[in-house]
Structure 1
Amino acid sequence: MGRKNNILYEVKVMAMKDYFKGLKSVKRISEELNINVSTVKTSVKIYCTKGESGLLPKKIHNTYSKELKQAAIEDYFAGKDSQWDISLKYGLSSHAQL
């Protein structure tokens, strides 16, 4: 069973393009799409690092190796980067997983 996606991929991409063109703010996008501001901010970070393909719906839940988890945790506790950036570096689905 796949994940539930309430917003079409094309709508997400258009929202990100509008944001980066300066046409819409995070708040305005969240209001128009009826989603939380933090969800839009997450989409912005993903779009910055992975481009449009990062917004594609995911069909499965990710699993991570013990080594990847350990490396991410070590980077975090060593203060090498922010929680967001470490999550993106190691390909975690969310910064909350870290």
Structure 2
Amino acid sequence: MSKRKMKLSVEERIQIVENYLNGQSSINKTAQEAGVNWSTIKRWIAIYENEGPTGLLPTKKNRHYSKERKIEAVLDYLDGFEGLEAVTKKYGLRNKVQLQDWIKIYTTHGTFKSESGGSKVSQTKKFSLEERIAIVLYCIANNYDYSGTAVKYQVTYQNVYNWVKRYEKLGEAGLEDRRGHRKANQESRTPEEEAKIRIAQLEEKVKYQQMEIDLLKKVKELERRDWQKK
């Protein structure tokens, strides 16, 4: 039975990282000798490079990141210019799981709360029909820059995407908020209108699900490439 180290001291972690950085060992060999996963070694290296040896000291509480910082990191990744590892290192995050959590929250719900360093979603702002139209027209006029529009108007990436698609399919009527009771002066929809809008809603639901699938595939592909480099 192979002997496995259960827990490494801070000094041992620093030595492991420095041995790798000095070219004395590969990540896979180091991970095997230390009895930890190779991804753990990579995380230690990233922390060491960002914060120095003291970064490997135990932390008593989560680091604080502003809402703006989180959005900036997420959009850097979603724009497709940098992968998970690059963005994680660029923003000094301790591991890519943290970035993956931010991506999931942002694309699903929107803005973050920055209190206590958490990633809770803030309450969604309600936008009037006129505001939605302005947001859509701005996005279209700027070459469908969903990310930039989301930041400018403090609205979720997903909402911008959905509003643009509804506008292109149904016009301004597609941006109306039909939730709750209808106003007395509003005309009832015809069966044809109801069917058209229902079809559009189902299509948007499918598109949203496909976006989630594509995002997951992208993350897995980047992880696969990282593994092949080892």
TM-score (norm 1): 0.77
Q: Give RMSD over aligned pairs.
A: 1.8
Correspondence 1:27-46 to 2 at 5 A: 27-46=28-47
What does the per-residue CA deviation read over 1:3-60, in whole Å, with 9 as the maximum and x for residues that have no partner? xxx3211001111122122222212221222110111122222223332122222121
Q: Distance in 1 between matches of 2:13 and 2:65?
A: 26
Count of aligned residue pairs for this structure pair: 93
Q: Distance in 2 between matches of 1:65 and 1:27?
A: 35
Q: Distance in 2 between matches of 1:92 and 1:28?
A: 25
Q: Are the counterparts in 2 of residues 19 and 26 from structure 1 also a CA contact under 8 Å? A: yes
- 1:92 Cα shift? 2.3
Change (3 A) 1:72 1:53: same
Choose 1 or 2 for highest CA Rg: 2
Q: Distance in 2 between matches of 1:14 and 1:70?
A: 35
| Structure 1 counterpart of 2:91 | 90
Q: Secondary structure at the match of 1:59?
A: coil
Most deviating of 27-36 and 59-68? 59-68
| Structure 1 counterpart of 2:26 | 25
| Structure 2 counterpart of 1:3 | none
Most deviating of 75-84 and 30-39? 75-84
Gaps of 5+ in 1: 1-5
| Structure 2 counterpart of 1:56 | 57
Q: Tell which has more relative contact order, 1 or 2 (C-alpha 8 A, sep 6+).
A: 1
- 1:95 Cα shift? 1.0
Q: Is 1:81 aligned with 2:82?
A: yes
- 1:61 Cα shift? 2.0
Most deviating of 19-28 and 67-76? 19-28
Q: Distance in 2 between matches of 1:46 and 1:75?
A: 20
Q: Distance in 2 between matches of 1:44 and 1:91?
A: 12
Correspondence 1:63-74 to 2 at 5 A: 63-74=64-75
Q: Percent identity?
A: 34
Letter paired with 1:45? A
Q: Are the counterparts in 2 of residues 62 and 93 from structure 1 also a CA contact under 8 Å? A: no
Letter paired with 1:10? E
